[in-house]
Structures are given as C-alpha cells and as structure tokens.
Structure 1
Amino acid sequence: MTDLLSVDHLSFGFHDRQLYQDLTFNLKQGSMTSLIGANGVGKTTLIRLLMGQLHPQSGSINFMPDMKLGYVPQFRNIDPEYPLSIKSFVQLNQLSHPFPWHTKKERQQVDAALAKTHLTARQDQLLGRASGGEKQKAYLAQALLTEPNFLILDEATASLDVNTKVELMTLVQELNQSLNLTVLFVTHDLALAKDYTDQYLLLTPGHYEMRATHDMNEAAMPKELQPAQEVE
C-alpha cells in the first residue's frame, strides 16, 4: 500500500521541554492507527503538527499530493435548547462562498454525508436533544463533507458510554473499508484500539513505538492507560 503520510525524523518541543526527538513513522493509505499515550506526552501537539497548526523544529511531515483531511473532535455537551437541527449543524461546514444559501451540489454533499453516518432519518432532530452518539455522528458527517481520505478522530469517543463508543467505531470502520479512508484515532481506550485499529503509535516521554495492535502488551502500557482493576 502507498503511504498517505510519512513523518521523518521529527523533533518538536516547547521552551521548557522536548516532546519528540527523531520521531519517524508512516501511515499507509486505508490503514487504521491508534495514537495512544498518557496525558502530557504530546498527542494533541502531534495532531496540531499534522494539521499544519504547528511546524516541526526539524524533520518533515509529508502527505500524498491529493490528501484531504477530515477532523472529528472530542464529545462536547451541547445545550438541549441549541436551535439547529442535525442537518443544519452539518451544513455549518459549508457556505465558504459569499452568498448565504446552499448550492445544489452542497445539498447533495450533505445528503450523502447524512446517509454515510446513518443520520438521514434523524436529520430534522434538534441537535441539542439528540443522543451523544448522534451528536458525534453529526461531527463525523461534518468531517465527511469535504470527502476526505484522511480522518483524525481526536478522542472522539471520550465521555461516551461503552455501547455508543462501539457503535461509533463500528461506523468509522465501515467508512474505512468502503471509502479506503485512512484513520488516525487518538484514544486512551486500549480495548477500542485493539478492536478497531491495525496498529498503534505509543508516545511516552522521550520515546515512541509503533506496532501492530495484535502485538500490544497492555500490562506494559503506562498505568494511566491500563484498565481499572475490579476490587474483590
């Protein structure tokens, strides 16, 4: 498979500490990868680097020439009285032109994104009164409007219940397979990483490792990432 993304000898840090030194990895087109690590190791910073919001101090980040990025944020608690419907919320990612209405092509793109995220039947539901899973699917639909081939899920399953996490990641897996969509899934949830991604990139202070998820040793992971032990 072709590399959609290659990170070569990347170094980056802030004035008080270095986050990465000689970080090198690649993401194959159509792959699903987990980005994991304890808080403070630089997961969010790496996402900002990949999105062009920050720039490497040394090394390089290279994408396929036709790369299109979609971004799904962490779950946000939206007020129940939020006035927009799911469809209208998804449409907020449009209207980049000077006239205040949606073109025929834009309406078709919204309909397609709603269909891909299984929201067509719920499109007129007020977003504020939708379930947590429907809200995250609305963010996912927004990301799909640009027809991306690279999708970043930035802790998009955090704060969701177990069943909703599984539902959302099953949908993302379907999109990965049907659209050949490359996915980078930022998460603390090792179970989801093992169930839904092919490989993981683990960041630890001053180090990193990238391996197939079936080789993941959960017991060797940072304690913050390990499942809580039940008290007998």
Structure 2
Amino acid sequence: MSTESNLILSVRDLDVAVKNRKLINDLSFDIFAKTLTCVTGENGVGKTTLIKTILKQFNKNEHVQSKIKRSDMQYIPQLRNIDDDYPLTVFDFIGLGLQHSILPWLSKKEKQSVQKVIEMTKLQDLANTPLGSCSGGEQQRVYLAQALVSQPKLLILDESTASLDKEAKFMLLDVVKSVIAETGASVLFITHDPVLVQQYGDYDLNIANQAGTIKPVKEAQ
C-alpha cells in the first residue's frame, strides 16, 4: 500500500528542459518503497532528461524532495563501452561498486557483500568470467549487481532492456522484481516495451505532449 510513510521521492511542479526547449511542464509524481515505476513515452519526450533533472535538483529545492540521500540512489545507464577483451572478471567489476572501500583490495565482509548480490542477480556461474566475454543480458545483470552492492534504496534503470532479446529482458526484470522483494528498494525503469510495463510495472509514468501522468498499471489494463 502506497502511503506517506513509505514515500521515497516526491516531485512537484517540475519543469524539464534541454537548452532552451521545454520538454515537460509542471510534472508531479511520487515514488514509494518496494515499487517499480515505469517511465514511458515516445523518443524525444524527455524521459532521460527527466532523470538527469531529478538527479541535478535532488533535495536542492521544493521541486524534488526525498527522504533518502543522494548516495542511496544508483543510476544504471543503457550502454557502457565494454570491449570484448575487457579483462576484469564479473566478481571484480561488481566489487568496484563498493565506493567507500579504503584498501585497494576487498575485505572479507566486502567479498561477502559481492557474493550476496551475485547470488541475488543469478550470476554465480559467471563470477570468474571476464566481463567482456558476457552477453548483453549478462552484462546488464552485472551492472545491476554493481549498483546493488552499495545497498541503494532507489535504482534508476535507463532503458536497460532496449538492446536485449526477449528472454534476456524477462530474466533481467525477474531479477529486478526479486531484488525489490528482497531488499525493499524502489525502481524507476525507463522503457518503450508495453509488455514489460504490464507484466512487471506497479506504476506507469507516461510522458506525452509536454506533460506526465502516473497511474497504477493494474488500472491501465
């Protein structure tokens, strides 16, 4: 149940623009704990720019207020430049997400944290595989795991399934939903895929005609 007590992020009367062009006017919506909110709309309406605006204005004015810290948010981009011969293993790449580590190597506790998210994201068989050798879907789960190792309260997935085949898309979102259930994190998921919205989304924030409307997915069916 979405109540004030589990409110994570509140956006009020937010304008979103790029250079001198207004993309979204007076946008207001809330993000609650343990929910997956899909951000939908045609190309060019300002979905990614909206996320960047939220991150830029986070707790700096009345437009974007949150009960969590900026460090409790993790942004996962759609694409990263990972070459096929990228040598770092999946385990070591995920370990890079431990931002507060003082030593140049992982402590026993940190290794346990990495192992936990590896299991959570079903990457056990790939832990010692070079990241460059992983498929697109596997790499997306690795990026998710790297974000999870810092125990975020809000995850932002920017079209993480856009370049994946159907099986990999469903596997990634299955993992995301299990992460929400296990950790209590909330997820903002930018997507163009209506099937994923209907199957996995709790809320749909649709951007069109310089305006945004949010509604529960179950009422949109």
Alignment TM-score, normalising by the size of structure 2: 0.88
Counterpart selection for 1:171 from 153, 159, 175: 175
Equivalent of residue 44 in structure 2, options 37, 40, 45: 40
- Per-residue CA shift, 1:169-202, capped at 9, x if unaligned? 0110111112222111100111101110011001
Which residue of 66, 73, 85 corresponds with 1:63?
66
Q: Distance in 2 between matches of 1:51 and 1:207?
A: 19
**Partner residue of 2:195?**
191
Preserved CA contact (<8 Å) 1:11 1:59 = no
Paired with 2:19 and 2:60, the residues of 1 have a C-alpha distance of 12
Inter-partner Cα distance in structure 2 for 1:92 and 1:58:
32
Q: Which runs of 5+ in 2 are unaligned?
A: none
Query: 5+ residue gaps in structure 1?
Result: 218-232
Residue 84 (structure 2) aligns with? 80
Contact 2:59–2:66 (8 Å) recurs in 1? no
Q: Secondary structure of the equivalent of 1:158?
A: coil
After TM superposition, give the deviation of residue 126 of structure 1 in Å: 1.4
In 2, Cα distance between equivalents of 1:103 and 1:193:
39
Q: Percent identity?
A: 36
Give 1 or 2 for the bigger CA radius of gyration: 1
Q: Distance in 2 between matches of 1:177 and 1:55?
A: 25
* Alignment partner, residue 94 of structure 1: 98
CA contact (8 A) 1:75 1:160 kept: no
Give RMSD over aligned pairs.
2.2
Flag the 1:85–1:177 CA change in 2: closer, same or farther, 3 A.
same
2:135 matches 1:131: yes
Work out whether residues 17 and 49 of structure 2, in 8 Å CA contact, stay in contact via their aligned partners in 1: no
Match of 2:159 among 155, 160, 165: 155
Q: Determine if contact 1:71/1:151 at 8 Å carries over to the other structure.
A: yes
Deviation at 1:131, TM superposition (A): 2.0
The one-letter code of the counterpart of 1:162 is K
Distance change (3 Å), C-alpha of 1:83 and 1:177:
same
Pair 21,138 (structure 1): closer, same or farther in 2 beyond 3 Å? same
**Mapped partners of 1:44, 1:81: distance in 2:** 30
Worse-superposed segment, 77-86 or 127-136: 77-86
Match of 1:51, SS state, is helix
Deviates more, 1:68-77 or 1:202-211: 68-77
